[in-house]
């Protein structure tokens, strides 16, 4: 796993916690100078600039959606006052937060979007287990992404995970990332962060009910850091084709984050359940 990919994951999964270069440095095991240099060489951006740009970009989106007040957006973005937030916002985008909130228009500013993580493109895989899953219900947070926007998924998990804080982990028994309802042209897809229904969350507000039919699945395992899951998923699709296993929709993939995955560090085993033809 490249430390820059780990750094991107750390930033995206902790935007609401005001991530700092020092914390990223500590978790990647590299000095501030070295991780900053590597990040700039690989992405063309400074690490501090990326963190600042991402937080302000998410703030701009909140303002354009009609946030009720600017101070709450400023605090979420890591600024202690309206004035400090306005200075940083104007410095980043050349306009004030008030103008974006009033116009609800982002077309005139250049947002800093999540960098897509590009881990090595081939992963060695163990032989999958073939199982039939019974029909199941889930409750979760669902967003629709264009394929070039999938780097926003860590931020979606950041909004979902706090909802699990007060739940009994023994009852919840893991979380699920559910990929489904790809558009006909393959350019958009739904992604849901979810847990099984009846284990502590109820539909309402941003949380929706997700019903999956009985499915035959091939179960693979991604091991290591979560930033490398893209490479594992790509390898799974390649191996499935070679083994004569045909992927089937509308649910394409279920990621299972069980006891062997640590959501704080991003290390551990994630099971990939690929929906296949009977």
Residues of the chain under the 70 pLDDT cut? 1, 117-122, 241
| CA-based radius of gyration for the chain | 20
- What is the predicted pLDDT for the residue at 122? 64
Q: Is there a contact between 109 and 153 (Cβ–Cβ < 8 Å)?
A: no
- What is the predicted pLDDT for the residue at 167? 95
Give the per-residue SS3 of the chain: CCHHHHHHHHHHHCHHHCCCHHHHHHHHCCCHHHHHHHHHHHHCCCHHHHHHHHHHHHHHHHHHCCCCCHHHHHHHCCCCCHHHHHHHHHHHHCCCHHHHHHHCCCCCCCCCCCCCCCCCCCCCCCCCEEEEECCEEEEEEEEEEEHHHHHHHHHHHHHHHHHHCCCCHHHHCCEEEEEECCCCCCCEEEEEEEEECCCCCCCECCEEEEEECCEEEEEEEECCEHHHHHHHHHHHHHHHHHCCCCECCCEEEEEEECCCECCCCCEECEEEEEEECC
- What is the predicted pLDDT for the residue at 117? 65
- What is the predicted pLDDT for the residue at 119? 52
- What is the predicted pLDDT for the residue at 184? 74
């Amino acid at each position: 796993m490249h430390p820059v990919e780990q750094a991107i994951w750390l930033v995206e999964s902790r935007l609401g916690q005001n991530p700092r270069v020092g914390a990223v440095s500590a978790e990647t095991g590299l000095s501030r100078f070295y991780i900053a240099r590597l990040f700039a060489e690989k992405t063309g951006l400074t690490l501090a600039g990326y963190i600042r740009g991402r937080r302000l970009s998410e703030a701009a989106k909140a303002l354009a959606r009609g946030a009720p007040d600017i101070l709450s957006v400023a605090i979420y973005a890591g600024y202690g006052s309206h004035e400090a937030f306005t200075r940083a916002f104007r410095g980043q985008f050349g306009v004030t937060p008030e103008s974006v909130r009033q116009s609800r228009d982002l077309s005139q500013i250049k947002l800093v979007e999540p960098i897509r993580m590009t881990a090595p493109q081939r992963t060695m895989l163990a032989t999958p287990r073939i199982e039939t899953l019974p029909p199941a219900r889930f409750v979760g947070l669902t967003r629709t992404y264009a394929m070039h926007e999938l780097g926003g998924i860590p931020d979606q998990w950041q909004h979902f995970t706090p909802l699990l804080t007060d739940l009994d982990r023994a009852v919840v028994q893991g979380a699920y990332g559910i990929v489904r309802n790809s558009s006909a042209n393959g350019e958009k897809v739904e992604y849901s962060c979810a847990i099984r229904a009846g284990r502590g969350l109820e539909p309402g507000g941003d949380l929706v009910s997700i019903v999956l039919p009985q499915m035959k699945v091939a179960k693979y395992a991604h091991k290591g850091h979560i930033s490398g899951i893209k490479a594992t998923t790509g390898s799974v699709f390649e191996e499935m084709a070679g083994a004569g296993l045909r992927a089937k929709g509308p649910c394409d993939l279920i990621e299972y984050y069980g006891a062997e995955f640590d959501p704080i560090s991003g290390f551990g085993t994630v099971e990939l359940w690929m929906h296949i033809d009977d």
